[in-house]
Structure 1
């Protein structure tokens, strides 16, 4: 079984948005029930995460306990079971509540960072960091995000997805648009 020592998550670094080739190859080698096409959507309900850990912890993770639904209730239940397993197995450092919320709500980069840590833990290999060359200067106007895409992204965040207060939602939309117009 893999060792349970985990490095602390570093929130200062930007999250990678795409799975590396080696992590994708590892996922394919596990012969999961569903192929991974869109990681942030495919892992949101926790079913494939449970299947990955069931390959390494056969007796501790029982797949019949997990549902492959898309409803928020199903996602919360699956992730609650996974967090309980992580605590029992001594893997508390693998993820935390805010990150689980971000994964459940399919936020960019959240599941990639989690899968990279899971890969390193379960395979005892380090994920190779791909360094992209920096482009000089600010992006041209046509390459910037539109105001509507910024509003959509602001409203999609995990902290606001279950928010019912219109004032809070309007403030978040205003912040997104202020940043866009600057």
Structure 2
């Protein structure tokens, strides 16, 4: 496996299993060799980056290389990476663990691209440089924070037109003030963390289902062997009795 751990492989295989592909997966290194399923993986997460009709299933080396060359030029560049010719050759020739290493890297690039797209979508489009400043309620505008010299606790105050400071009192709690001052970028990062955790939960649930399926298969196998053992014992009983006589 090289430097890929068993847990990492399980996680990768579970991730691939969640993606609807046009061909059943039998042997990962051969399934992805022609690049078609790679295009489908990117299409699943980033629909605008891939036109699937450009990629045809291939058996000969030249057509496989053509698909990968197209992926490099048309798709991977938009994800801000390219793969070297020797890496492509290893994948096309179905070398052990080549496609696993590539898919792990591709997954990180896709996650990053999706995250950046979500951040860009929620940014203001007016070209201002204050995109990361929090949105503050109109009644909160003009508020400043003054720390008491004795208690070092903040108080909400407002400057009037003359520059004098007026204490607002208890109309705004400390919690409300802090909530209004949270940058939007932090909220987006927390949302991304939540998405990653939800994906991890889905992967773990898929592992549980797979293990339950394996346990069921083993139970069926045990029952089958038990039936054969009972039949064998019945067949041997007459012979054993004859031997004793």
**TM-score (norm. length: structure 1):** 0.55
Bigger-Rg structure (1/2): 2
C-alpha displacement of 1:17: 9.2
1:111, 1:15 → 2: CA distance? 14
2:64 to 54, 64, 75: 75
Kindly tell me the number of residue pairs found equivalent between the two proteins: 114
1:54, 1:22 → 2: CA distance? 20
Is the CA contact (8 Å cut-off) linking 2:50 and 2:75 kept in structure 1?
A: no
Is the CA contact (8 Å cut-off) linking 2:34 and 2:64 kept in structure 1?
A: yes
CA RMSD of aligned residues (A): 2.7
**What secondary structure, in the 3-state scheme, does the structure 2 residue paired with 1:67 have?**
coil
Q: In the alignment, does 2:107 pair up with 1:119?
A: yes
Where relative contact order (Cα < 8 A, 6+ residues apart) is larger, the structure is 1
Q: In the alignment, does 2:82 pair up with 1:97?
A: no
Is the CA contact (8 Å cut-off) linking 1:30 and 1:55 kept in structure 2?
A: yes
Shift of the 30–87 alpha-carbon distance from structure 1 to 2, 3 Å rule, reads: closer
Unaligned runs of 5+ in 1: 1-12, 126-182
1:98, 1:17 → 2: CA distance? 23
| Larger helix fraction of residues | 2
Task: Give the match for residue 179 of structure 2.
Answer: none
1:36 to 25, 35, 41: 25
| Larger strand fraction of residues | 2
1:78, 1:96 → 2: CA distance? 14
C-alpha displacement of 1:59: 2.0
